[in-house]
């Protein structure tokens, strides 16, 4: 049943990929053929078969037709509020230089820190707004964005405020802001990691939390960044205060980040190229999702994470772009999806769920990433014949219309 309302939008699809798993194992994406979705007041009001729509139920509604409709894509790990470019470092790395060595000599994250510190809040917001618009054109309706390039109170605040400003635009995707509190040690900390982490917990975190600038707290747990002991006080405090935690873990070495994430009840652990059986077991027990970042391991020429072991452990898989100027200089979640299938061996269904329902769950958004009554009216109408084509290396945007909360925020010309 689907009763009429003149303000409704009705989207008809040859293939409606609901991302609500079907009753049959052969239909893991919950695809309904010749289907419709009715949108009302920013929510999905009804889902059904097209043949059940009659003229009366369509009266006055705005109607769109498409071959293929999916939930809006959710990019659950980005550093999209970066400023400047690291193309010179990229060229050096392609010629053989090592990411961690470049960082040790003042490049890497600290080089983007200098660009962010030198930019105004308005300039960062304007650059992010343009970047978000390009993401929307690729089908993204929700994007997690991390700070972490300011590395002092004023500059982190500036980055987080720029994220807030850029997300206010009517055509922006929904932005989920993360305070990446421990990313790299700024030069003024003079090598004192523990002292810096303590100050971030006591001062930066308190001030930025008071301004309600973020929903999640993140830390880079890595041999060349912060240890479990450095990060624990801040993260425990964040949890106690009701913030979600997501962590960069095992990008270069297993230093116990997965166990810490499990202990804290983190919403996600991200990267995981270097995580062992114990870490995986802890994640599985705690129900922490794994966010896979294939563009980063591609530019770093790394081995993929052990996807089969993650799967066997029953860990929920998410795929994200990691959009950042160093390890994943891209704005394209679809590029990451293509790499997840080809290089990481994910199935098409795992990959699409990893960029919709599973990604939304990792952000605590249970009403997002699915096409079901009551869910957010975030949809992509694709200029593609089948969902399996979304994960081909298209290299160009293939969304024909992107709808967020019932409103078209992108239409291809
Ligand atoms: O997820 N590894 C830490 N953070 C980013 C890279 C940041 C940068 O190089 O600017 C990542 O890969
Ligand atoms: Fe990252």
Sequence spans of domains, the chain? 9-71+370-411, 74-362
Give the nearest ligand 1 atom to 220 CA: 3
Q: How far apart are CA 81 and CA 146, in angstroms?
A: 7
* DSSP per residue, 354-413: HTTHHHHHHTT-TTSSS-STTSB--EEEESSSSGGGTTS---S--EEEEEETTEEEEE--
* For ligand 1, mutation pick of 75, 76, 79 (most atoms within 8 Å of CB): 79
Please tell me the distance from the alpha carbon of residue 311 to that of residue 130, in angstroms, as a whole number.
Answer: 36
- Ligand 1 atom nearest the C-alpha of 103 is 9
d(CA 410, CA 80): 19
- Report residue 99 CA to chain centroid gap: 23
Residue located nearest, by CA, to atom 1 of ligand 1: 322
Buried/exposed 122-161: b ≥16 CB within 10 Å, e otherwise: eebbebbbebbbebbbbbbbbbbbbbbbbbbbebbbbbbb
Rounded Cα–Cα distance for residues 227 and 17 (Å): 42
User: 157 CA distance to ligand 2 centroid (A)?
Assistant: 19
* 40 beta partners: 43
Atom index in ligand 1 nearest the CA of residue 86 equals 10
CA of 151 to the centre of ligand 1 (A): 14
Protein residue with its CA nearest to atom 8 in ligand 1: 326
pLDDT in tens, 141-181: 999 999 999 999 999 999 999 999 999 999 999 999 999 99
CB under 5 Å of ion ligand 2: residues: 322
User: What is the share, in percent, of the chain residues with pLDDT greater than 90?
Assistant: 96
Distance 379 CA to ligand 1 centre (A): 30
Q: How far is the CA of 328 from the centre of ligand 2 (A)?
A: 8
Separation of CA 251 and ligand 1 centre (Å): 9
Per-position b or e across 329-354, b if 16+ CB within 10 A of its CB: bbbbbbbbbbbbbebbebbbbbbbbb
pLDDT tens readout for residues 209-225:
999 999 999 999 999 99
Ligand nearest to the CA of 99: 1
Q: How far apart are CA 33 and CA 35, in angstroms?
A: 5
Confirm if 102 and 96 have CB atoms less than 8 A apart. no
Atom of ligand 1 lying closest to residue 271 CA = 1
Fold observed for domain 74-362: TIM Barrel (3.20.20)
Q: Which residues line ligand 1 (CB under 6 A)?
A: 79, 108-109, 112, 220, 248, 251, 296, 322, 324-327
Cα 6 to ligand 1 centre (Å): 48
In the numeric block, which tokens belong to residue 35? 């289907």
Question: Which residue among 248, 271, 319 has the greatest number of ligand 1 atoms within 8 angstroms of its CB, and so is best to mutate?
Answer: 248
Rounded to 5 degrees, φ, ψ at 299 are: -70, -20
pTM: 0.98
Phi, psi angles (nearest 5°) of residue 367:
-100, 15
Other Cβ atoms within 10 Å of 5 Cβ, number: 14
Instruction: Beginning with the edge strand found earlier in the chain, give each strand of the sheet holding 268-271 in spatial order.
Output: 73-75, 140-146, 174-182, 216-221, 244-249, 268-271, 289-292, 317-319
Q: For residue 293, report the distance from its CA to the centre of ligand 2, in Å.
A: 8
CATH architecture for residues 9-71+370-411: Roll (2.30)
CB atoms within 10 A of CB 413: 3
pLDDT in tens, 13-22: 999 999 998 8
Residues 385, 387: Cα–Cα separation, whole Å: 7
Q: What pLDDT was estimated at residue 5? A: 78
Note the pLDDT of residue 22: 82
Nearest bound ligand to CA 116?
A: 1
Q: How far apart are CA 333 and CA 317, in angstroms?
A: 15
Q: Extract the tokens encoding 323.
A: 């959009």
Q: Which residues of the chain have pLDDT under 70?
A: 1-4
Query: Which of these, 207, 216, 203, lies nearest to 146 by C-alpha position?
Result: 216
Give pLDDT, residue 1. 45
Residue 183: phi and psi, rounded to 5, are -115, -50
Residue 308 Cα to ligand 1 midpoint, Å, equals: 25
Phi (first) and psi of residue 174, to 5 degrees:
-70, 130
User: CA-CA distance, 380 to 366, in Å (whole number)?
Assistant: 18
**Closest atom of ligand 1 to CA, residue 108:** 9
pLDDT of residue 3: 67
């Amino acid at each position: 049943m689907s009763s009429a309302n003149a303000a409704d939008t009705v989207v008809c699809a040859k293939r409606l990929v609901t991302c609500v798993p079907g009753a049959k194992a052969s239909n893991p994406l919950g695809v309904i053929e010749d289907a419709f979705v009715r949108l009302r007041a920013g929510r999905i009001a009804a889902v059904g078969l097209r043949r059940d729509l009659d003229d009366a139920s369509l009266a006055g509604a705005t109607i769109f037709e498409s071959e293929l409709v999916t939930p809006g894509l959710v990019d659950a790990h980005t550093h999209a509020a970066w400023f400047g470019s690291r193309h010179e470092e990229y060229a050096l790395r392609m010629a053989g230089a090592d990411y961690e060595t470049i960082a040790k000599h003042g490049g890497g994250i600290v080089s983007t820190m200098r660009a962010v510190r030198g930019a105004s809040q308005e300039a960062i917001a304007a650059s992010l707004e343009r970047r978000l618009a390009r993401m929307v054109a690729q089908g993204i309706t929700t994007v997690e964005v991390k700070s972490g390039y300011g590395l002092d109170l004023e500059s982190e605040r500036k980055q987080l405020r720029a994220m807030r400003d850029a997300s206010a635009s009517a055509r922006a995707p929904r932005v989920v802001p993360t305070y990446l509190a421990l990313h790299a040690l700024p030069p003024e900390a003079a090598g004192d990691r523990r002292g810096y982490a303590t100050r971030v917990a006591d001062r930066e975190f308190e001030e930025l939390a008071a301004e309600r600038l973020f929903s999640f707290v993140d830390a880079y747990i890595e041999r060349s960044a912060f240890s479990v002991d450095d990060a624990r006080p801040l993260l425990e405090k964040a949890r106690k205060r009701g913030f979600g935690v997501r962590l960069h873990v095992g990008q270069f070495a297993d230093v116990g980040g997965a166990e810490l994430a499990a202990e804290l009840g983190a919403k996600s652990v991200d990267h995981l190229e270097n995580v062992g059986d114990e870490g995986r077991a802890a994640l599985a027990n705690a129900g922490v999702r794994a966010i896979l970042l294939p563009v980063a391991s591609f530019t770093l020429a790394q081995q993929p994470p052990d996807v089969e072991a993650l799967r066997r452990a029953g860990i929920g898989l998410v795929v994200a772009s990691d959009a950042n100027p160093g390890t994943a200089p891209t704005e394209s979640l679809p590029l990451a999806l293509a790499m997840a299938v080809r290089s990481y061996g994910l199935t098409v269904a795992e990959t699409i769920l990893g960029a919709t329902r599973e990604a939304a769950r990792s952000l605590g958004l249970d009403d997002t990433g699915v096409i079901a009554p009551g869910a957010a009216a975030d949809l992509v109408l694709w200029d593609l014949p089948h969902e399996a084509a979304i994960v081909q290396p298209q290299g160009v945007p293939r969304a024909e219309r992107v709808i967020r909360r019932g409103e078209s925020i992108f239409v291809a010309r």
